[in-house]
């Protein structure tokens, strides 16, 4: 039988693998093997060839029905009995019996059929198929009383197992059609002494065997085709979660806790992910493996939507909330495949002033406490990798300062079991140095010195330690004060973890190999001759990649209405490029299909997050956006129109809670400017007015009218915060219409321009500055990076998010200002140069009353309280 199966499979183009278990395998061991095969996406059909005594219900029903090509599971048999044969697999042996009879010219309608000695699924399938043909079917075992009479009355006899010797052939009436299917297909054994009855109507077991084998292969082909169809794009059969909005709207955490999320493996299956493409973390989070990109590489991408905003108040204007509301509207209310792609929030702001970033009201990612806290540990992995590299830098300087060339070399390339060998990364360094040797004993003294000494200039070190906590007292520290550091000390600092270049690398990479290469290219300092020193030079690239190997996989969660969300990477937009990962966007664009939408968010105002999204992220990804959704609020527009200062934690003045048409009209200058910035890139703009309960109809109508006059494709008020996706259906329709228009996307500048020209272009075209002013230090850094060959990288401006200018208190649209560039740094691994505008801190501080005063844990229920 194996040879027959193999030959048929080869003719058909199938691969067959025989898994041979030990003869004494237990039921549990067989089931365990079946379950493994169930989850193997490369296997589309599974046939059991085991001894009859092991065919328990447990074993048979362990098979996935969609891989059960012998039709033995209860689900396949049940569908057959119910009349849904086109939806299930039918026993190949039973089908072979019917086909052979019909091809022999036997009319089955009205015939009396006796099935003798068949058991289980074969017996049930034969009875069902004969009855469908209009036959009167009886089943009997060999030891059944009155078997002689039944055999005598039957028109057709089907032998399901070998005939006992004590049953004489004369019991079968001459002229009766007899089919012998006593070949045990599942065990692969032929029944010994099977009857060779020479009636005119005999069809022997070999005939049944061959046809059944062919029909089994046909079932395999059907299973493969069905699987292939499922891989093609289709509209998701997504079970959306119902909302029951309350008024007044409860707190974010109460709303989040009031909704029970779907199991994440159920969500993954609904959106087309395979079981082996996810790694589940708890009940509501999963990581998605990058292998999905290879599987869906021929799938057309969906529409790509960016959510940006006007210059915000310190309270934020709800871009995350709009993003979530929009995808809830698209998928739960318009039945369109859509995915939200968000950044993972830093725990610094979560415990500081701003709070979490899961959205708010009835437009949230759930569970919000898991979203806002550790998630799956990506930021912790970044912190560990970053600080390992920082430790490697100072340790290398210490050892080079205290050891001779020979001693240093002997420790870098030690003798292990009487053998001295270079590691792979050391061989790469030798190649970089132009030393084409692989035997450590053959290096000259000069080559040993060149290899062993990095000669890092401590004053040029740009790599800082990081921590995911707002701690102002780590902004300037002294390291190396212990006696064991032998007097080597220097001034250093901590940055917030999300400002690490490794976070930017994670956000911009497109594969594991690309991430490893980017990590290796990261420049941490210059040597004493002015050449860059990289993570590769320090020999730490492999270790960094190991620490980041899980972090590279996007995190799958869901909205309050059960629609999918990727949460991945979280660089700040003021001190980094402020966008979620390229990988999350690319996977989501494949999963939604050509007619679907991926909605991603850029941090802070369009002048910062959106500009970097276009000029940095889109260059790295090669993706072209279709629409920009620009988020505005009446509150922020009043601030830009001359309203009182807005301070976090301080109640709003009456100008913000009462109607004031003039303030709104005056403040729309900022909205108009941000629309113009988006138009520089050739992408249509839809303005989403995030409506608060204190906004009046006159204020809302005015904003929408002025936005359209400024060139917006449309402007729509949104109410998702209070009612969920239903409140953003108009926005979703506007976005769909805008996305149907042709995008004329273009970059703002050519990366081949000199660094100073690229900075000036952003300052003048985006911020509205008259010109830029470089500090001597900034100019020196630009000269150094250009000389080192990094002058053709895009620019990532580190600037306040509270104004278009460098001065946070300048609202509206400041004009004729000179933009000061105080310093310039390089993230070579991530792939950009970042100028610091004015005095930008890369480590936030805590306010007088941080959010942590309100955060607590109910020790009885283990529920988190006070997050928002």
Report the catalytic residues. 319, 321, 343, 354, 573, 604, 692, 721
Separation of alpha carbons 39 and 817, rounded Å? 62
Q: Which residue has the tokens 């079981």?
A: 275
CB count within 10 Å of CB 835 equals 28
Nearest CA-CA partner of 797 in 823, 777, 771: 823
Residue 858's contacts (CB-CB under 8 Å, 6 or more residues apart) are 864, 865
Sequence-ordered strand ranges (E) for 723-817:
771-774
Phi, psi (deg, nearest 5) at residue 865 = -120, 150
Q: Contact at 8 Å (CB) between 146 and 196? A: no
Q: How far is CA 293 from CA 339, 358, 711, 752, in A?
A: 16, 26, 37, 31
Q: Are strands 415-416 and 714-718 parallel, antiparallel or unpaired?
A: unpaired
Nearest CA-CA partner of 510 in 589, 599, 598: 589
How far the first Cα of the chain sits from its last, in Å, is 65
3-class DSSP assignment, residue 305: strand
Look at the alpha carbons of 675, 679, 681, 684 in this order and tell me if their dihedral is positive or negative.
positive
Separation of alpha carbons 749 and 100, rounded Å? 74
Give how far the C-alpha of residue 529 lies from the chain's centroid of Cα atoms, to the nearest Å. 43
Q: Contact at 8 Å (CB) between 831 and 620? A: yes
Look at the alpha carbons of 738, 740, 742, 748 in this order and tell me if their dihedral is positive or negative.
positive
Phi, psi (deg, nearest 5) at residue 712 = -65, 140
Residue 830's contacts (CB-CB under 8 Å, 6 or more residues apart) are 501, 504, 505, 507, 508, 518, 522, 577
Alpha carbons within 13 A on the beta-carbon side of 793: 23
Structure tokens, 477: 């520290």
Separation of alpha carbons 780 and 2, rounded Å? 75
420: left (phi over 0), alpha (psi -120 to 50) or beta: beta
Nearest CA-CA partner of 868 in 250, 285, 322: 250
650-659: long-range pairs with CB below 8 Å, 24+: 656/694, 657/694, 658/694, 659/696, 659/698, 659/699
Structure tokens, 352: 């500081």
Q: Are strands 856-858 and 863-865 parallel, antiparallel or unpaired?
A: antiparallel
- β-strand partners of 686: 629, 714
Q: Which helix (H) or strand (E) holds 269?
A: helix 264-270
The size of the chain, in residues, is 868
Structure tokens, 441: 């004993």
Q: Are strands 136-140 and 202-203 parallel, antiparallel or unpaired?
A: unpaired
Q: Are strands 419-420 and 415-416 parallel, antiparallel or unpaired?
A: antiparallel
- β-strand partners of 309: 631
Nearest CA-CA partner of 134 in 157, 94, 153, 106: 106
Separation of alpha carbons 614 and 744, rounded Å? 13
DSSP 527: B
3-class DSSP assignment, residue 820: strand
- Measured at the alpha carbon of residue 761, what is the angle toward residues 525 and 578, in degrees to the nearest 5? 60
Separation of alpha carbons 727 and 312, rounded Å? 22
């Amino acid at each position: 039988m194996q040879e027959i199966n193999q030959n048929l499979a080869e003719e058909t183009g199938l691969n067959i693998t025989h898994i041979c278990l030990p003869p004494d395998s237990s039921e549990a061991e067989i089931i365990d093997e079946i379950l493994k095969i169930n989850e193997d996406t490369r296997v589309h059909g599974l046939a059991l060839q085991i001894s009859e005594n092991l065919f328990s219900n447990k074993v048979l029903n362990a098979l996935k029905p969609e891989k059960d090509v012998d039709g033995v599971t209860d689900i396949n048999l049940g569908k057959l009995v119910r009349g849904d044969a086109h939806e299930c697999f039918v026993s190949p042996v039973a089908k072979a019996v019917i086909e052979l009879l019909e091809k022999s010219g036997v009319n089955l309608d009205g015939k009396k059929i006796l099935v003798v000695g068949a058991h289980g699924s074969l017996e049930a399938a034969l009875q069902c198929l004969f009855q469908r043909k209009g036959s009167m079917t009886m089943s009997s075992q060999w030891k059944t009383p009155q078997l002689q009479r039944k055999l005598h009355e039957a028109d057709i006899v089907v032998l399901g197992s070998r005939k006992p010797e004590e049953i004489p052939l004369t019991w079968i009436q001459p002229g009766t059609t007899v089919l012998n299917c006593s070949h045990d297909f599942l065990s692969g054994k032929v029944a010994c002494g099977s009857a060779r009855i020479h009636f005119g109507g005999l069809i022997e077991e070999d005939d049944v065997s061959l046809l059944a084998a062919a029909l089994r292969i046909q079932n395999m082909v059907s299973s493969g085709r069905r699987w292939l169809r499922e891989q093609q794009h289709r509209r998701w059969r997504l079970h959306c979660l119902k909302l029951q909005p309350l008024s007044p709207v409860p707190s974010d955490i109460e709303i989040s806790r009031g909704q029970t999320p779907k199991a994440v493996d159920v969500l993954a299956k609904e959106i087309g992910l395979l079981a082996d493409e996810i790694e589940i973390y708890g009940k509501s989070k999963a990581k998605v493996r990058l292998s999905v990109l290879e599987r869906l590489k021929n799938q057309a991408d969906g529409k790509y939507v960016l959510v940006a905003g006007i210059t915000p108040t310190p309270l934020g204007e709800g871009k995350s909330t709009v993003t979530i509301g929009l995808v809830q509207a698209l998928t739960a209310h318009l039945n369109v495949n859509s995915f939200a792609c968000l950044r993972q929030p830093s725990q610094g702001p979560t415990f500081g002033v701003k709070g979490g970033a899961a959205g708010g009201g009835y437009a949230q990612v759930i569970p919000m406490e898991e979203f806002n806290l550790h998630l799956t540990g990506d930021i912790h992995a970044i912190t560990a990798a970053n600080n390992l590299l920082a430790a490697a830098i100072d340790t290398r300087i210490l050892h080079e300062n205290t050891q001779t060339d020979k001693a240093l070399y002997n420790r870098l390339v030690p003798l292990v079991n009487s053998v001295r060998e270079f590691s792979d990364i050391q061989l790469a360094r030798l190649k970089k140095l132009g030393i084409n040797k692989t035997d450590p004993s053959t290096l000259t003294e000069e080559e040993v010195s060149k290899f062993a000494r990095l000669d890092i200039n401590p004053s040029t070190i740009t790599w800082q330690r990081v921590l995911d906590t707002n701690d102002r007292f780590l902004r300037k520290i002294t390291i190396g004060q212990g006696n064991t550091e032998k007097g080597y000390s220097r001034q250093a600092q901590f940055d917030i973890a999300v400002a690490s270049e490794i976070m930017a690398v994670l956000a911009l990479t497109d594969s594991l190999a690309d991430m490893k290469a980017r990590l290796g290219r990261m420049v941490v300092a210059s040597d004493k001759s002015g050449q860059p020193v990289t993570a590769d030079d320090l020999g730490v690239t492999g270790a960094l990649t190991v620490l980041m190997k899980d972090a590279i996989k996007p995190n799958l969660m869901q909205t309050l209405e059960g629609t999918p969300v990727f949460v991945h990477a979280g660089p700040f937009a003021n001190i980094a490029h402020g966008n979620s990962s390229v990988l999350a966007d690319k996977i989501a664009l494949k999963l939604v299909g050509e007619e679907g939408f991926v909605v991603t968010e850029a941090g802070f105002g369009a002048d910062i997050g959106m500009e970097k999204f276009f000029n940095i992220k889109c260059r790295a990804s090669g993706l072209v956006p279709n629409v920009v959704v620009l988020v505005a609020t009446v509150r922020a527009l009043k601030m830009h129109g001359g309203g009182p200062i807005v301070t976090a934690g301080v109640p709003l003045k009456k100008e913000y809670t009462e109607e004031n048409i003039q303030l709104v009209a005056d403040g729309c200058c900022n909205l108009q400017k941000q629309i113009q910035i988006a138009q520089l890139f050739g992408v249509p703009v839809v303005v989403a007015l995030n409506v608060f309960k204190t906004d009046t109809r006159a204020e809302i109508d005015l904003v929408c009218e002025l936005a359209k006059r400024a060139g917006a494709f449309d402007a729509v008020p949104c109410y998702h915060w209070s009612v969920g996706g239903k409140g953003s259906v108009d926005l979703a329709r506007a976005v769909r219409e805008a996305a149907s228009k042709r995008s004329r996307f273009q970059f703002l500048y050519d990366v081949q321009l000199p660094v100073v020209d690229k900075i000036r272009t952003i300052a003048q075209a985006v911020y509205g500055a008259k010109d830029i002013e470089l500090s001597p230090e900034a100019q020196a850094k630009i000269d150094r990076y250009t000389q080192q060959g990094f002058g053709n990288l895009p620019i990532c401006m580190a600037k306040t998010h509270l104004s278009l200018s460098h001065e946070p208190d300048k609202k509206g649209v400041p004009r004729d200002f000179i933009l000061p560039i105080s310093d310039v740094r390089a993230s070579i691994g991530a792939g950009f140069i970042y100028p610091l505008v004015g005095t930008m801190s890369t480590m936030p501080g805590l306010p007088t009353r941080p959010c942590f005063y309100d955060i607590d844990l109910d020790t009885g229920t283990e529920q988190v309280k006070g997050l928002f």
